[in-house]
Amino acid sequence: MKNLAPQITRQRLLIEGYYDIKVDKKIIKKYFDTITKSLGLRAYGSPIIHCADGMGKDINSGYDAFVPLIDSGIYLGAWTKERFLSIVIYTCKRFDNKKAIEATKAFWKIKTIESKAF
């Protein structure tokens, strides 16, 4: 991918895995607090969390969530039936990918985790 704006710092990290804890809005808020503190990122608003249970295909039941950061944002999708998690951290500030992966794996009790920085 060509860097169209080299003067603008951008870092993206996709993290996915099957989680082993009970998920609800309170847990998602706690994760956003944990990950932002772990990476030294600052939220400037409250997380937006939607529960999509019963609104579409049963397999897609779960949560969509986003927390706005001063330096961009974090999206989280949690499929409750499958216990699958997909997170995109997008920032205009450098952060430690390994720390983000380790903090996410520990918080969600993920045994096998996949990630891709881009």
Q: Top-level CATH class of 27-111? A: alpha beta
| Neighbouring residues of 15: CB distance < 8 A, sequence distance ≥ 6 | 85, 86, 87, 88, 89, 100, 101, 104, 113, 114, 115
Q: Cα separation of 111 and 46, whole Å?
A: 29
Give pLDDT tens digits for 3-12: 899 899 999 9
What is the H or E stretch that residue 36 is in?
Answer: helix 25-39
Give pLDDT tens digits for 20-71: 999 999 999 999 999 999 999 999 999 999 998 776 677 789 999 999 999 9
27: tokens are 């847990």
Q: Cα separation of 48 and 64, whole Å?
A: 8
Give pLDDT tens digits for 84-105: 999 999 999 999 999 999 999 9
| Domain parsing of the chain, residue ranges | 27-111
Confidence of residue 113 (pLDDT cuts 50, 70, 90): very high
